[in-house]
Structure 1
């Protein structure tokens, strides 16, 4: 449909719990939220984008970047471009450093915080197999709707690797370019293994959140140090689905329940708010009365 953009476009986000609205749309929410451009009181006449929040969060920045590029290209074809500004010392220093920010517009992935050029590159299936040495896994990678390769880890302490499919749009050289363009949550460059494991982690978190939403509940996770001597490296040690949290009172009740659970030193619980993981508790401290392990 044609939607004429007004000076201040009416945009609303409808949650899956608004059953009356979804009924008026003629759809079942199925755990999805709806981004409505138009009058939410008349959903049949509005533009509606429906997806679970992690998918909306990944899709919208890509849409925004594509729209901005298209608008900028159209503007440049009808008007002379302004002369470039002279580089400032700060700009010069940033672009000459080894950790320089890439020129490509980056999208922040919601669960790991890493920034990539295209959020449509994602893991779509994941299979794991326990082995005597650890857990081996294989994950399928899609770029948009097209499968481009698989991620593998043999579960023996070795590196995580990527295997492109025959004729893949993301071959080894394409992956190398993607790695150079991407950044970690701290703004630093990523290694190949960092990027591959982050894509797997994004999938695992998104599945956890989607499962909670389908049940009309909330998702929580326990963050903990990866191991002895790795206190600055954290992993998700446990995932749980809990009663739906929509009010401060419900949040306080959940926090009190989680605080009574025994957790590893340095661990803390987080709640998925629909947009990000929010801390519910603070990192646990060692118990001075607890005997040392033998």
Structure 2
């Protein structure tokens, strides 16, 4: 590490790529020892102790910094909000070297270089950025692709986060907004009007997050099929990722096991081309190890789901349909049994019908069947989406095709999170 990061500029030269640390390429966007905002790395100069800044032309507005590669780090290197290793102290002006901007002195570990700053905040932000560069070169900071667990998209880092999520249903979908953070600092807001349009980013402070940084982040993102993503979809999926993480945490605090159902998107010939999470549930009194019991309960509750997954604490894992579990169309009409005829209708949508056989072998009496369905309805009222109305009818079906009605309860509307449209792709 150079102990003289700010000598006068002389000439400039470019080192071959194999002379640079892994992850530092000439032309890459980087954070620099010298610069408050990201710059383009131009390579080292003839003299390792010399640096130079050149106003960027054709670089998206970013300047080009020529300096030793040990004085820069990739732009996605996380910069901490605080770090006890930096020392910032206001010294008497008599101690301040000639030509320095102010009396706030910055000291850092691993280097004997002192720098002086006009404001305390300037000294602190400079120290945090320089520590991030030092840590990256020391191997204490790992950057690279990260797969987000709830949406499956890949992001280059987790410096970009959301908070203060708000959403509401509209006639054409869902409107939502959230505050966007970069390294924990407010950097703007994202908004979607809920009228079928794109999700937009509105910056607060371009010194915190600028267009080049956002473009670099988006360019490195991939969807769950490893395809590049447009900015509007990156923002939409970050919103969904954050909301799901919040809901999963809420289930965990309540002592419930998070489970979700997936719906299929099909082509014109009924081929499944994609899936999306369409409902989330909290299963009481269960753990990720209770796979067989949770699978039986959830597949009985959601027989027409395309797939059902359970949250293990780190990832979503499939709950295969148990052998012999009744489901829509997949079950032969029993000789005798108890049948739930269910209609679910999302607000503003067409009704969907499902038939569930709860006792294909005829081992249940009327009282047991009624008790079973009553318990299912009570759980549905707590956890089902609040914008879906469920109508159930319990009948006893015999071989001659007759239905003896046992109960026809009032329609049930849940108190859970509303069922949401999949963001446009």
Q: Aligned residues, how many? A: 196
The Cα shift of 1:124 comes to 1.5
Alignment of structure 1 residues 94-105 onto 2, 5 Å: 105=144
Say whether 1:156 aligns with 2:198: no
8 A contact 1:221–1:240 mirrored in 2: yes
Report the TM-score when normalising by structure 1: 0.58
Say whether 1:174 aligns with 2:233: no
Distance 2:232 2:327 in 1: 31
Alignment of structure 1 residues 1-294 onto 2, 5 Å: 69-72=136-139, 105-167=144-206, 169-226=208-265, 231-246=272-287, 248=289, 250-264=290-304, 267-281=306-320, 287=329
CA RMSD, aligned part only? 3.3
SS in 1 for 2:201: strand
Deviations 1:270-291 (A, max 9, x none): 110011001113599872799x
Distance 1:121 1:244 in 2: 35
> How has the CA–CA distance of structure 1 residues 123 and 254 changed in structure 2, closer, same or farther, with 3 Å as cutoff?
same
Deviations 1:161-211 (A, max 9, x none): 221113352233321111112222332222212211120111111011110
Distance 1:112 1:67 in 2: 33
Higher relative contact order (CA 8 A, sep 6+): 1
The Cα shift of 1:155 comes to 1.0
Distance 2:296 2:227 in 1: 36
The Cα shift of 1:251 comes to 2.1
Deviations 1:54-112 (A, max 9, x none): xxxxxxxxxxx999833259xxxxxxxxxxxxxxxxxxxxxxxxxxxxxx722222222
Distance 2:303 2:133 in 1: 44
Q: Which has the higher helix share?
A: 1
SS in 2 for 1:260: helix
The Cα shift of 1:130 comes to 2.3
SS in 1 for 2:292: helix
SS in 2 for 1:197: helix
8 A contact 1:109–1:119 mirrored in 2: no
- Structure 1, unaligned runs of 5 or more: 1-64, 74-103
8 A contact 2:310–2:319 mirrored in 1: yes
8 A contact 1:149–1:168 mirrored in 2: no
Report the TM-score when normalising by structure 2: 0.41
Distance 1:66 1:272 in 2: 36
Larger-gyration structure (1/2): 2
- Structure 2, unaligned runs of 5 or more: 1-131, 333-340, 342-351, 353-425
> How has the CA–CA distance of structure 1 residues 183 and 135 changed in structure 2, closer, same or farther, with 3 Å as cutoff?
closer
